[in-house]
Structure 1
């Protein structure tokens, strides 16, 4: 029954679904009636991949996504510097790789012209590359280069001095540690616990950021979020919010297993899973990075980058190391979600999941691969065969919603274009899938993501159309997201007995063109039977 006229809620559950007269018959004297005005009512959006703390905190930082050109960047940096005289590190966020346009790549020398005295770092929109000025590099001990581990790099020039480009988090975290704001802008991204116990004021500040982030998500119609970073400290903050009754969304937080950690440390993941397991707040998942991103050449490819002959990228976990980790995590009954962008990284993950099945036996594991921006055609059937969930982000393909085509499409190369961001092909195999944003890399609004699923165009006339239907896209943002979190028996559908997670749009999404989707609201969000946003 894809359409109904009315729904009744009682407490935190859906009581009934049916015609207006059927539902009106259930109303009592204290019942609140909400007239949807013929607009679309959906299950609450499930945001299956985001970074809620950095997304919320980033709204306070210098936002560079709309900035283009050297003069405009210089002006923005100076204004931000003047407005934050006491901050130990000036942080810009959302930086396009080609922000300087014809002036070429960002270098420390160019940043020094904009801010010669105070440490400055610009974070790429995808958080996989950053650029720092000379004061920041010297203060962080990176000016003369440093070995920061596989898959990470402090880029240096012919004289061995840092150019300013920092690839992946091990390279840029020493700079971020210079900040003095008191807030941990990347809280949980490393997976490590705070080195020193946060003060009462720091805890209060961090809780305020998390609350703000969840409220912002609720205002977009989101009722559940799958965070892609975190630690026990973050879980403890969220538990406090839950006990206060102020959780605007359901939250799932993973244990972050990074390269270099010994396998026995996964006992911490098991403890997190046991200690946090409510309908509003849970763990039960382990997050791993196997590679980086295409734009910086840190994604791991099976064959050379089309724009960099002789370079495939370096995996953070090789096939053997990842397989060992996957076997151990799977043995513990935990779910795994892995960042894998390049076709080489995707294969490493699929091989690891296959090894886990052979070692531990097949089960309903619902292991995930995040992004899957390029895959090898030989690997396409393996997603469904292994029961892997394809977690994809419709706003990410180059050329979509204003994203630049370069350097992404040149890095992929025309021979691999048919296997890049291939939503249609993946869905057609019967693979379980879900859609999300990866906020703050792109906008968190599901309505913008839904727009992207409908308007994307191929990079060439002879390339396949990888769009999905509107209903497939709506599934990807609702019940398929719930399925990816083992919650499909409780959320993701408007059905009697399900938890009351709903979003009312400001129009009929089936009656407007996709470019009009972002203007549809939402006007009302209900999570667990409580109104969490009302326009």
Structure 2
């Protein structure tokens, strides 16, 4: 490595995430590596004749944020879709939809996202009739914030041949009304995809979730459109201080687009993309995942893990629960994989050296996933697998210590907590039942029990800003008297977003910390984040983002 710096950041409050040297004043970069971390005088002595020197003016400088769970294609597309977050009531919703429709006259199916489950208030649950009264003559569908439920108008249901219902498989549902026709509510991917694929993108943004497969009969023009959509989304992520993304829907198409951007020098963040193992796939498909791991193995683009959905979400009662729901105690839902099927997937993936990451929101889904990881250990022996469970929105107390015992990572999204900055308390708290609140979104409980933990937003389920997510981790209030305090400290939250994110990727030897020789992934903040009040952390902004030694975002 060169002994002179190309770029120096000085007068900073440097948080290195390196226990051996946790704080400093300045950082020097040479090429794509960190040359030095130390005092202003020590680092300035390394300045080359043409080095750029940035004065942080007392603000925080730290490793770039690692978004440990997100959906890059859907998130990128959401930047041009109708955002219904914070829209409430019939008239406000109608106005937003009509305005969006007028601005998009050629869109075959209009799509919106982040529509609250209770968006219509006293009018009750959304139906196609409500949507027809707002927009009767053009196909329209809106996603719930969690993207596990959507609501479509009659025009969209007819176009997708769903108005009379359809068998869409276990854990998925076209909700039917007393009149024998679809109500407009579509639960889970298999029910939603028939509408989504009729939009101008052909639903390509959702293939990584829906099938794990690649688009068919793709034209060069369509590929160019998708590349541009993704590039814009990646640049947006860089503007939020992110230098690493862990994508949670996967197909070869997305990996190849990322590799193309890397080869062209246009990839502003690092990204890993999984092989999505679906319940209809044969175990032999995991051999393809192992091939991806070999093929996509650069420091910028990796295809090195397996994603599985075990269940859905609490609000639509598609999460797999122990002892039913609070408002439906006789109903548990069904898992997307049987116990035997998932045990086999976990065991084979583990034997191939593949990390497994499972979406498991309900308590029964969490238990079945832990059981599968335990089965893999019994079959293959204990290895440094770093298998993960995503979300863990409700857990049975007996399963809390198993995370440490089995070495399973808890991947959490503090911004998702009901009653926080993004989502209302209802219907989640009622679905859970008050007796289980103490084990819901139990970050602190899991952390104190020895679980290793990473943070993320699940963009576009919630805004991709790490600062808003961290604020929720710092300020969460118990729902009921006597419920445990689940708040995290600032240092814990920053570590979960940086060093721990690198560790879960098996890249702790080269990123996630500011130390000499590590990859130059750095964010310069707008202020000293340690001095910010907990309820004002979301106001912090990235002033500059540096990924692989290259400035990928800079404010004017």
TM-score relative to the length of structure 1: 0.98
5 Å matches for 1:262-277? 262-277=282-297
Question: 2:219 maps to what in 1?
Answer: 199
Flag structure 2 segments of 5+ consecutive residues without an equivalent: 1-20
Question: 2:549 maps to what in 1?
Answer: 529
Question: 2:471 maps to what in 1?
Answer: 451
8 Å CA contact 2:212, 2:249 repeated in 1: no
Distance 1:34 1:93, change over 3 A: same
* Greater Cα shift, 135-144 or 468-477: 135-144
Partners of 1:45 and 1:87 in 2: CA distance: 35
Structure 1 residue 510 corresponds to structure 2 residue 510: no
* Greater Cα shift, 153-162 or 88-97: 153-162
Partners of 2:240 and 2:51 in 1: CA distance: 26
Partners of 1:201 and 1:65 in 2: CA distance: 32
Question: 1:11 maps to what in 2?
Answer: 31
Structure 1 residue 500 corresponds to structure 2 residue 520: yes
Structure 1 residue 210 corresponds to structure 2 residue 235: no
8 Å CA contact 1:13, 1:529 repeated in 2: yes
5 Å matches for 1:138-177? 138-177=158-197
Q: CA deviation at 1:115?
A: 1.7
Deviations 1:142-184 (A, max 9, x none): 1111111111111112343211111000011011122135673
Question: 2:410 maps to what in 1?
Answer: 390
Q: How many residues matched?
A: 535
Distance 1:52 1:24, change over 3 A: same
Partners of 1:462 and 1:429 in 2: CA distance: 19
1:77 to 78, 90, 97: 97
Partners of 1:384 and 1:346 in 2: CA distance: 14
Structure 1 residue 373 corresponds to structure 2 residue 393: yes
Question: 1:434 maps to what in 2?
Answer: 454
Partners of 2:485 and 2:415 in 1: CA distance: 16
8 Å CA contact 2:138, 2:155 repeated in 1: yes
1:223 to 226, 243, 253: 243
5 Å matches for 1:54-65? 54-65=74-85
Q: CA deviation at 1:140?
A: 1.1
Partners of 1:46 and 1:97 in 2: CA distance: 30
For the residue of structure 2 that corresponds to 1:74, the secondary structure is: helix
8 Å CA contact 1:183, 1:205 repeated in 2: no
Flag structure 1 segments of 5+ consecutive residues without an equivalent: none
Partners of 1:23 and 1:119 in 2: CA distance: 59
Partners of 1:310 and 1:419 in 2: CA distance: 20
Q: CA deviation at 1:195?
A: 4.2
Q: CA deviation at 1:191?
A: 4.0
Structure 1 residue 254 corresponds to structure 2 residue 254: no
* Greater Cα shift, 22-31 or 494-503: 22-31
8 Å CA contact 2:389, 2:408 repeated in 1: yes
5 Å matches for 1:299-338? 299-338=319-358
Partners of 2:37 and 2:113 in 1: CA distance: 44
Structure 1 residue 340 corresponds to structure 2 residue 360: yes
